[in-house]
Structure 1
Amino acid sequence: MAANDPKRKYQDGRDEMNLADFPISALQRQQPTDAEGRKLDKMVFEASRYDPQLRQRVSQRVTLTTSSSDGLPTPADEHVILALLYTAKHGDNFGSAVVHFSPAQLFEIMGWAPNGRSYERLRGVLRRLKSLTLRYENAWWDPAGRGYEEEVATGIISEYRMARQVSGPRQPGAVPRSWVRWTEQFYESLQKGNIKRLNLEIFFRLRSPTAQRMYRFLDKRFYNAPVFSMDLIEFACGHIGLTETRNVAVLKRRLAPGLKELEDIHFITPAADAERYQKVRPGIWRIQFQEGMKKAEGSRQKAEGSEDTTASGCLLPTAYCLLPSAF
């Protein structure tokens, strides 16, 4: 099987709602570094949401911290998480916090070549995910409490085992010797059903990390309504992960290739810049999307969790949508 060409049987993937909302990795494929070439050990994503009780927008912040030796996650790390979620769903349906897997199984889901280079790449991903700490401030949805937690610090995996590579076919019925264990907080979210379907066939066919990130974020938002609009900077920098800038022209240019990918697969309806971007006032712009005609053929699926996504983003009455970002 060619790289980036996963089999159709992997359409029925899963995504955890909080991970669909905010990135947990740098957007570039290479490790982000500082001016002196050292790996970064911290990254922050900021946005806002409408709080119906306070009747105003409140700030949200997700902070990624790790050791400088391991470095921050890259898009490949999020690919591995999605492959593990698929394995957990179609294995014991999230019945255990431990997910057994074979590296070859994950490679097939993600479209990675089954070779030693991919094996070492996977090892690096697991090391980064093990050392990663995520702090959610007013941004972690608790489906049981039907609200956002004030502050939650967690990770994705608490421990893992990467078994030695062996030659020859695996014995029928044998349990894969490699495994990961979800952190308690993350596994609790999975058990509470805070997950949604995600078409992995479409996801892994997208070429750019920007398009993949937008696909996950918008796939969640389109569940409630076929049209979605929000503050441009919050969308591009807070939820997609572009480097923060107030230069609207730069953001438009960076988003353009990913938007074209999503338009080409009919996930979103093509739009001219005058339709896609609306100027509210000097310095405040909004971006608008309408789901494409073919989205319903596979990617728009009923969420399995109970998150009320009208509490975030811009799936609220128009008057609320016109409120500027809190930043």
Structure 2
Amino acid sequence: MESSETQKRLHRLETFEEGRDELNLAEFPLAAICNRYLDGTKTVVFEDTVWDDEKRKRLPRKLTISGSDRFGLPTAKDDDVLLACVQLSSLGNFTQREVHFSRYELLKLLRWPDETRYYRRLATSLRRWKGLTVYSDRAFYDKARRSWVNRDFGIFDNLYIYERDEVDKREASADSWLVWNEVVFGSFSAGYLKKLDWDLYLRLKDPVAKRLYRFLDKRFYHSDRLVLDLNELAFNKVRVSPNYNTAQAKRALMKGIRELEHLWDLRPAPEEKRFSKISRGKWEVEFQKRKRKKPTKNQIERSPNELSFKLTKRGIGPAMANELTEKFPAERIQTMIELFDWHNEKGEERGAGFLVAGIRSAEPYVMPKGFQTEAVRERKRREMAVANRKREEQRRRKQHSEHQKIKEENAPFEEFWKGLSSIKQQEFLAEALISTDRTKKEGFSRLKTLGGPAYEHYRQMILKEHFQRTIRLPDKSISITGR
């Protein structure tokens, strides 16, 4: 049974929306946007220039990231996991370098399915970040010193993953923990952070859209209009494949840009206006932030409940949001919010009017093909998890039964063999090799010098077959598959 404190913590993680992003990580993302670095690449270098206030000129800067031999470099999913770890620290107001958590809690925060493979994926991501080293030559901004500095550091100093998180997930005990590197945590403590719409970030599907959202949201702080070098943006900030030509880089960016135009405050623009050719091989890309009238913080705080808050986040005024939550069932409102998000994530833009009309509709709304509410998906995930646990339990029982059967079948031979002296054992083996067939004898001879499990398997098989032939037990046979 979950404690009330655990329930509150899980609810807070599931409904978490206003997050934080570290500005160095938004400027120089450390993860790829795809899985290409799983090809064995362990080190990547990025170079550009930065303005130095003291020297009054632009100076070169370089960022080198190097992954471990075992886990390699981070990819797009790993970026989500690291950002989720930042949110865990944000929930604690960045007061402690050591953060305690469970993988179940991280799944809830990331809104990933509660399935075995996702527990394993989380562990891999965390270890991948633990193995990463960052070498910064003027690429890391130290807010406390107000300058770009040289720093060589990791992301986590220490990491402990409680392997029974999956079994004990309903307890949600924070038995795993990580310790941020002091350089990274120092940036947290110095407040080199920006707000991050965590709900929006998770609704973005394309890794390019997620990367662009973090980078542009940082840059829009100074201006609502940005003009950037295409190669600089694509290769050093978003990190599309370095093998892409200009056309491929533009296509990769446009997919993420279109998603941000639908879900975020990025002003739509046709591709021919988005990209401008300056000279041979040189292109620029322009972004403008769309001005939207959003509810003020005070207005949102006056929303009486969580559903009202969600409605105001999607463009409905606080008064209307309160009215809808008072008059209509919570289940209907939640379903329409999810449908609203589903359409917009597919690029089928829907406004606040669609959401209001759907909630107020006198007839049940006919759901489009392919749409499922989160409640339905969660029920299916639970059913699948139960089925998987049953299959795993059956497999373990079968494996245990087979192991016991083999043990019982092999008991007469084991007793016989232990009763022989070392000399008698060698004599018995010599007899067994004479009487065994040619294939087994050749396998035994080939593997004898190497040793190891394969050799021992051949040896046991030959010995047990000879024991069966010479002792001739009438009621029991000796398993030749046991090792």
Q: Report the TM-score when normalising by structure 1.
A: 0.80
Alpha-carbon distance between aligned partners in 1 of 2:277 and 2:48, rounded to the nearest angstrom:
18
Task: Report the counterpart of residue 28 of structure 2 in structure 1.
Answer: 22
Alpha-carbon distance between aligned partners in 2 of 1:8 and 1:95, rounded to the nearest angstrom:
22
Deviation at 1:168, TM superposition (A): 6.5
Does structure 1 residue 90 correspond to structure 2 residue 96? no
1:229-240 to structure 2, matched below 5 A, reads 229-240=227-238
Deviation at 1:162, TM superposition (A): 0.8
Structure 1 unmatched runs, 5+: 1-5, 34-38, 299-327
Task: Report the counterpart of residue 201 of structure 1 in structure 2.
Answer: 199
Deviation at 1:246, TM superposition (A): 7.5
Deviation at 1:248, TM superposition (A): 2.1
Task: Report the counterpart of residue 386 of structure 2 in structure 1.
Answer: none
Deviation at 1:24, TM superposition (A): 0.5
1:1-327 to structure 2, matched below 5 A, reads 9-29=15-35, 31-33=37-39, 39-91=40-92, 93-149=93-149, 151-163=150-162, 164-165=164-165, 166-167=167-168, 169-170=170-171, 176-244=174-242, 247-294=245-292
2:152 aligned counterpart, secondary structure: strand
Alpha-carbon distance between aligned partners in 1 of 2:122 and 2:50, rounded to the nearest angstrom:
35
| Residues 1:102 and 1:7: Cα distance change in structure 2 (over 3 Å) | closer
1:251 aligned counterpart, secondary structure: helix
Deviation at 1:61, TM superposition (A): 2.0
**Amino acid of the residue matched to residue 129 of structure 1?**
W
Deviates more, 1:269-278 or 1:184-193: 269-278
Alpha-carbon distance between aligned partners in 1 of 2:111 and 2:81, rounded to the nearest angstrom:
11
Deviation at 1:277, TM superposition (A): 1.6
Alpha-carbon distance between aligned partners in 1 of 2:195 and 2:294, rounded to the nearest angstrom:
12
Whether the 8 Å contact between 1:266 and 1:294 is mirrored in structure 2 is no
| Residues 1:297 and 1:72: Cα distance change in structure 2 (over 3 Å) | farther
Whether the 8 Å contact between 2:104 and 2:169 is mirrored in structure 1 is no
Deviation at 1:106, TM superposition (A): 1.0
Alpha-carbon distance between aligned partners in 1 of 2:18 and 2:132, rounded to the nearest angstrom:
27
Deviates more, 1:57-66 or 1:256-265: 57-66
Alpha-carbon distance between aligned partners in 1 of 2:119 and 2:237, rounded to the nearest angstrom:
30
Q: Alpha-carbon deviations, 1:251-298, whole Å to 9, x = none? A: 111211111111111421111233212222222221110012349679
Whether the 8 Å contact between 1:263 and 1:292 is mirrored in structure 2 is no
Whether the 8 Å contact between 1:135 and 1:153 is mirrored in structure 2 is yes
Alpha-carbon distance between aligned partners in 1 of 2:15 and 2:141, rounded to the nearest angstrom:
30
Whether the 8 Å contact between 1:16 and 1:190 is mirrored in structure 2 is yes
1:144 aligned counterpart, secondary structure: coil
| Residues 1:77 and 1:246: Cα distance change in structure 2 (over 3 Å) | closer
| Residues 1:297 and 1:83: Cα distance change in structure 2 (over 3 Å) | farther
Task: Report the counterpart of residue 307 of structure 1 in structure 2.
Answer: none
Alpha-carbon distance between aligned partners in 2 of 1:268 and 1:110, rounded to the nearest angstrom:
24
1:28 aligned counterpart, secondary structure: coil
Alpha-carbon distance between aligned partners in 2 of 1:296 and 1:54, rounded to the nearest angstrom:
41
Q: Report the TM-score when normalising by structure 2.
A: 0.55
Alpha-carbon distance between aligned partners in 2 of 1:28 and 1:292, rounded to the nearest angstrom:
29
Number of aligned residue pairs: give it. Answer: 283
Name the structure with the higher strand share: 1
| Residues 1:295 and 1:184: Cα distance change in structure 2 (over 3 Å) | farther
| Residues 1:237 and 1:108: Cα distance change in structure 2 (over 3 Å) | same
Name the structure with the higher helix share: 2
Q: Alpha-carbon deviations, 1:116-142, whole Å to 9, x = none? A: 211111110111111100112211011
Alpha-carbon distance between aligned partners in 2 of 1:136 and 1:267, rounded to the nearest angstrom:
32
Q: What is the Cα-based RMSD across aligned positions, in Å?
A: 2.2
Deviation at 1:53, TM superposition (A): 4.4
2:73 aligned counterpart, secondary structure: coil
Deviation at 1:199, TM superposition (A): 0.7
Alpha-carbon distance between aligned partners in 1 of 2:91 and 2:253, rounded to the nearest angstrom:
34
Deviation at 1:200, TM superposition (A): 0.9
| Residues 1:169 and 1:249: Cα distance change in structure 2 (over 3 Å) | closer
2:16 aligned counterpart, secondary structure: helix
Deviation at 1:30, TM superposition (A): 5.7
Whether the 8 Å contact between 2:45 and 2:62 is mirrored in structure 1 is yes
Alpha-carbon distance between aligned partners in 2 of 1:65 and 1:267, rounded to the nearest angstrom:
35
Alpha-carbon distance between aligned partners in 1 of 2:14 and 2:200, rounded to the nearest angstrom:
9
Whether the 8 Å contact between 2:14 and 2:111 is mirrored in structure 1 is no
Alpha-carbon distance between aligned partners in 2 of 1:214 and 1:66, rounded to the nearest angstrom:
24
Q: Alpha-carbon deviations, 1:142-171, whole Å to 9, x = none? A: 11111111x211111111111122337438
Structure 2 unmatched runs, 5+: 1-11, 297-483
Whether the 8 Å contact between 2:14 and 2:108 is mirrored in structure 1 is no
Alpha-carbon distance between aligned partners in 1 of 2:263 and 2:14, rounded to the nearest angstrom:
16
Identity across matched positions, percent: 34
**Amino acid of the residue matched to residue 229 of structure 1?**
V
